[in-house]
Amino acid sequence: MIAEIDHDLEEWIATVIDSKYKITFEHPGIRDNKPTVSVYLYQMENSIPRSVAREIPLEITLSYLLTVQSESQLDSHKNLGNLLFAAKSRSDLEIGFPSLAADFWQALGIAPLPHFTLRLPLVMARNVGQVPTIKAPPRIDIDSITNIKGFVLGPSNQPIANAKVTLANIKTVAYTDNKGLFSIAADSKALHEFNCKIDAKGKQFSISVPMQKTQNAPITIHLDTLEV
């Protein structure tokens, strides 16, 4: 997988730079007494947010650090510039200019070199099997939907108006009225606890109340006197 991307990069770079240059995937600073282009894979990142349960397809991003070394700095600069602008002309390459710490170059045992990065996606198809055909219309269980009511109170039981109440698992949002009262829809069968976040007066609070306490009467949420 990665070897295929390495091979494609090597072939492309060979068409851009002078033929006297050796192309290596070793880190910068390793030379064979020849002018050298280093294409160093120094970072890999996950391309799919962690919140996505299944990656279809599997994908990561590869970051290659490109440097050019020769006895002539002018010649090195020329070929590095040729590589940079050739890369900018390709829509499938993302170019970066990372600021690498002095420790990075010290670990390699060389002085800092002019450089840029190429970021490329590495994608692998994934077999997920066939999803069965839905033969009946969706059915919503209305009986399980309930409106949970509650009050948001501050110091001395003062109602907090315009507080934002967000149900944690489904991101349903409600706002309190002038009496601090809110009403928010939830699936009573799916909830074991009433977990929510409350944004009030520029602060955020996490609240958890056992679900059985929300069935018959409004819940009362007191925000700590010191925090409001």
For the segment 107-125, what is each residue's pLDDT rounded down to a tens digit? Answer: 988 999 999 999 988 887 7
CATH of the structural domain 2-124, one choice from 3.30.2000, 3.30.70, 3.30.450, 3.30.200: 3.30.2000
Dihedral pair phi/psi, residue 70, rounded to 5°: -155, 175
- Provide the residue ranges of all domains of the chain, joining segments of one domain with +: 2-124, 142-222
- pLDDT tens column, 13-39: 999 999 999 999 999 987 777 899 999
Q: Is the pLDDT of residue 137 over 80?
A: no
Given a cut of 70, whether residue 227 has pLDDT beyond it is no
- For the CA atoms of 195, 197, 198, 201, what is the dihedral angle to 10 degrees? 160
What CA–CA distance (Å, rounded) separates 57 from 126?
5
| Exposure letters 62-93 (e unless 16+ CB within 10 A, then b) | bbbbbbbbbeeeebbeebbeebbeebeeeeeb
Mean pLDDT in residue range 151-164: 89
Taking the whole predicted model, whether its pTM rises above 0.85 is answered as no
Residue 128 pLDDT class (50, 70, 90 cuts) = low
Q: Which CATH superfamily is domain 142-222 in?
A: Carboxypeptidase-like, regulatory domain (2.60.40.1120)
Nearest alpha-carbon partner for 25 in 4, 35, 39: 39
pLDDT digits (tens, 9 = 90+) for 62-90: 999 999 999 999 999 999 999 999 999 98
Confidence category of residue 49, pLDDT binned at 50, 70, 90: low
Residue 190, pLDDT above cutoff 60: no
